[in-house]
Structure 1
């Protein structure tokens, strides 16, 4: 981040230019008092030295602290898994946790992806911000936001504040304020990265629990285990906006358990720990697929079907991605509808 330096003689008003690293172009101007010496931010350090909280608790604490320092009407912590932008923590009268919108419609997309300013006095005066649907939905005039970054600067989400009125930046300590925002964002980024890294081990443990309620002939989890797995993954979706989907494989009129075992082994191998295979009934397998992003999720479902075909098993299938409004139960219903549609297709052709 680059900011214009104060004049060496300390006279007159100065203008701070807030930019992203490498953004290059001047973006937004904020008058600063010439005598202002940016104070070191009150550390979220009091918090950092305390016992490590969960990401959810830290997000709530961050929003309370930021709202106390700058009382904007709306404060948000979001998770970004393209194409979705999901609100994980909210302090607002116009937004709720779990609400989603397209990432490319958000003000934060401009801040992150187009080198936009991290504090904008009036978004209606800055075309790249004024064009975003998020600003119109929430009636936003003032905006401040910073990204949450994981290992390798992977974008995990954002922290942002929204105001229905333009921000009065006269005498505003822009540099000090952004340091506070970035300090909180760094804290949240570390906690979120650590918790996301734990998800594969959690899923493995869940799979073992589900297998205890298993099908005796195949050793696979049964419908009770399937319900348990969907419930647990739905909890992760609410906590982290973790992508997931349901793939149903119908093996047709198989007369022995051999093809079921072979298909299940092929599917599990293709999943490579990114989900679970369950026997839903005599001839139908349910595959819960998980991934870090939507493209990987689709690729995983395709890999499972290719592996089952390569094992010599014929099947019909139905696939659905979890959508925030319907959850995994809705994805299961959608996959069943698609499977039934494929089954009926030859008879209606």
Structure 2
């Protein structure tokens, strides 16, 4: 029974392999300039799910821009396709590709078939079939994506037992749980995401000089500032005494930079001195690895602040 995007993708690729042949069928995601392989049915190219290529190097990028047909029995006959760097790298003799679009019409990725040898010209008559399968795949995809916010909200509610008692933010257990669940979505759909590591600079000094109550007030101001600038789908957590973390979902690099600026401004307005590190989740490393990189960047920032002070 086909009731989810992964199963639908695998069934679509299997059907097209039996109907049209072709050594490689893929369902991909376009994210910035990354062309990410979400699912692959490969019989010779050595392509696996999770691999990423430069979007502008692909035949699909040219197809989406209207520089060539959806079906090219001989890519050598289509100048834009023959010149595509990835086509030359992989050795592509024939191409089939159609866009996969979100409900709002924006590009999600592509359904694509590649073969090292040219194919009969009659294969162009299969465009209606391939397009119909792509439309059905998009219907399943968009149903899942549209449910994403509700699913995330249910997860946030389910993690309420993992709240920090002082700030009301998620604690380390809640952070790890929600990070894992978001990584599953990122891996499934090719979503990008941003993680931020935050460490307060003055908590120990304030606790020693002014008392624990003043330190708690600092923690509460920090929590309110971070919570104020995030979306309902994002995650803010207090991981330890003076350690905070943020997860921004479906967030590209430019969105992340804008968010980081808002975080810095909110902390400054709340009279909170902190060191921050940010990293993006991209193809090739997961959210846990991205957070380790953000943590390392935060510690570099903290060392720099100490030197400057």
The TM-score with structure 2 as length reference comes to: 0.90
Determine if contact 2:73/2:123 at 8 Å carries over to the other structure: no
Q: Is the Cα contact below 8 Å between 2:68 and 2:78 reproduced in 1? A: no
SS at match of 1:116: coil
Deviation at 1:216, TM superposition (A): 1.6
Aligned to 2:53: 101
Q: What is the alpha-carbon distance in structure 2 between the residues aligned to residue 184 and residue 138 of structure 1? A: 25
CA shift for structure 1 position 167: 1.5
| Of 123, 129, 154, the match for 2:81 | 129
Report the Cα offset of residue 232 of structure 1. Answer: 0.7
Relative to its length, the structure with more helix (as a share) is: 2
SS at match of 2:284: coil
Instruction: Tell me whether 1:280 sits opposite 2:239 in the alignment.
Output: yes
Contact 1:245 1:322 in 2 (8 A): yes
Partner Cα separation in structure 1 for residue 233 and residue 274 of structure 2? 21
* Worse-superposed segment, 308-317 or 189-198: 308-317
State whether residues 270 and 304 of structure 1, in contact with CA within 8 Å, keep that contact through their aligned partners in structure 2: yes
The CA distance in 1 between the partners of 2:64 and 2:145, in whole Å, is 21
- Aligned residue pairs total 296
d(CA) in 2 for partners of 1:253 and 1:210? 30
Partner of 1:234: 183
Equivalent positions of 1:332-347 (< 5 A) are: 332-347=291-306
Among 1, 17, 20, the alignment partner of 1:70 is: 20
Contact map agreement 1:211 1:219 (CA 8 A) in 2: no
- 1:220 aligns to 2:169 (yes or no): yes
Aligned to 1:267: 226
Q: Tell me, which stretches of 5 or more residues in structure 1 are unaligned?
A: 1-50
Match of 1:138 among 86, 90, 107: 90
CA RMSD of aligned residues (A): 1.8
User: Shift in Å at residue 100 of structure 1?
Assistant: 1.1
The CA distance in 2 between the partners of 1:292 and 1:119, in whole Å, is 33
User: Counterparts of 1:168 and 1:53 in 2: how far apart (Å)?
Assistant: 34
2:249 maps to 290
Q: By how many angstroms is 1:292 displaced?
A: 5.2
Measure the CA separation in 2 of the matches of 1:182 and 1:137.
27
Greater RCO structure (CA 8 Å; 6+ sep): 2
5+ residue gaps, structure 2: 208-214
CA distance in 2, matches of 1:139, 1:303: 46
CA distance in 1, matches of 2:260, 2:268: 13
Contact 1:81 1:294 in 2 (8 A): no
Quote how far apart the aligned CAs of 1:270 are.
Answer: 1.2
What CA distance in whole angstroms lies between the structure 2 residues aligned with 1:310 and 1:294? 24
Alignment match, 2:212: none
Instruction: Name the CA distance, whole Å, in 2 between partners of 1:347 and 1:285.
Output: 19
Specify the alignment match of 1:199 in structure 2: 148
CA–CA separation in structure 2 for the residues paired with 1:132 and 1:314: 49
User: The residue matched to 2:236 in structure 1 has which SS?
Assistant: strand
Alpha carbons of 1:278 and 1:292: their partners in 2 closer, same or farther (altered >3 Å)?
closer
Candidates 78, 82, 88, aligned match of 2:32: 82
Q: Quick check: 1:301 aligned with 2:263? A: no
Report if the CA contact (8 A) 2:72-2:124 is conserved. no
Match runs of 1:319-334 below 5 Å: 319-334=278-293
CA–CA separation in structure 2 for the residues paired with 1:333 and 1:157: 29
Larger radius of gyration: 1
Q: Kindly indicate whether the alpha-carbon contact (under 8 Å) linking 1:211 and 1:222 is maintained by their aligned counterparts in 2.
A: no
1:313 pairs with one of 272, 276, 280 = 272
Distance change (3 Å), C-alpha of 1:293 and 1:348: closer
- Confirm or deny: 8 A CA contact 2:194 2:252 kept in the other structure: no
* Aligned ranges 1:103-182 → 2 under 5 Å: 103-169=55-121, 172=122, 174-175=124-125, 177-182=126-131
Q: Which residue of 2 aligns with 1:12?
A: none
Task: Report if the CA contact (8 A) 1:318-1:336 is conserved.
Answer: yes
State the secondary structure of the residue aligned to 1:165.
coil
Q: CA–CA distance in 2 between the matches of 1:107 and 1:139?
A: 12
